[in-house]
Amino acid sequence: MQKQIEYRIDKDKSISVILFILQSLGKVDIHKLFKIIYFADQKHLVNYGRPITGDWYVAMKDGPVPSNIYDFIKIVRGDSIYHDEDLKTKFEIHDRMILTPKVNPDMNELSASDLACLTESIKDNKGLTYKQLVNKSHDAAYKKADRDNMIAFEDIATIAGANDELLKYITLNSEVSNVVLEDPVCH
């Protein structure tokens, strides 16, 4: 049996992803933002063996939702028990659903492959309606997950075209990315 693929979210990169999408589109509703990130992660997993932000997706009613990124939005919106004043300096939310940037993304956080997949996902999805994005994102990976539970990275990669060898590579890559290196102790 194959190990479950898990990643750690990179908060700074996630914020840069949000801001890159907002900078590209000017403003975006949270649903479209989530789907652009989801489809960019699909492409990145199958082409480069890792997701962009490391965030995991929840199978919610209207499609996959990046869990931690949604938490960031709830913090800025004031819907969270958590507080992060720095997040509120990055983007703002209008009418509870529309995001606009306050600052530019930190482009040092995003690799060339991150940018390529994000740019392609923006191009492919910016003109789609809410309903079209719901239908497109209710893919086999989404359908395999229980409602309001995690969508497995294995399933996201598989529907994007990953074969068994690539899944082994993605699994190994996730294990390496989750290794916590301890500071050496000098005696």
Q: Domains of the chain: which residue ranges?
A: 11-174
In the structure, how many helices (H) and strands (E) does the chain have? 8, 6
- What is the torsional sign of CA 61, 39, 180, 10? negative
Q: What are the structure tokens assigned to 150, written together? A: 């995690």
Tell which wins on pLDDT, 130 or 177.
130
For 99-134, what is each residue's pLDDT tens digit? 999 999 999 999 999 999 999 999 999 999 999 999
Phi, psi (degrees; rounded to nearest 5) at 66: -70, 115
- For residues 96 and 17, the answer to whether their CB atoms sit within 8 Å is no
Q: Which residue has the tokens 């999805």?
A: 125
* pLDDT on residue 179: 66
For 145-164, what is each residue's pLDDT tens digit? 999 999 999 999 999 999 99
- Environment class of 136 (CB within 10 Å of its CB; exposed 0-12, middle 13-18, buried 19+): middle
Percent above pLDDT 90 for the chain: 84
Tell which wins on pLDDT, 171 or 16.
16
Q: Is 146 helix (H, G, I), strand (E, B) or coil?
A: coil
DSSP per residue, 2-59:
PPPP-----HHHHHHHHHHHHHHHS-EEHHHHHHHHHHHHHHHHHHHSS-SS---EEE
- For residues 154 and 2, the answer to whether their CB atoms sit within 8 Å is yes
Whether pTM exceeds 0.85:
yes
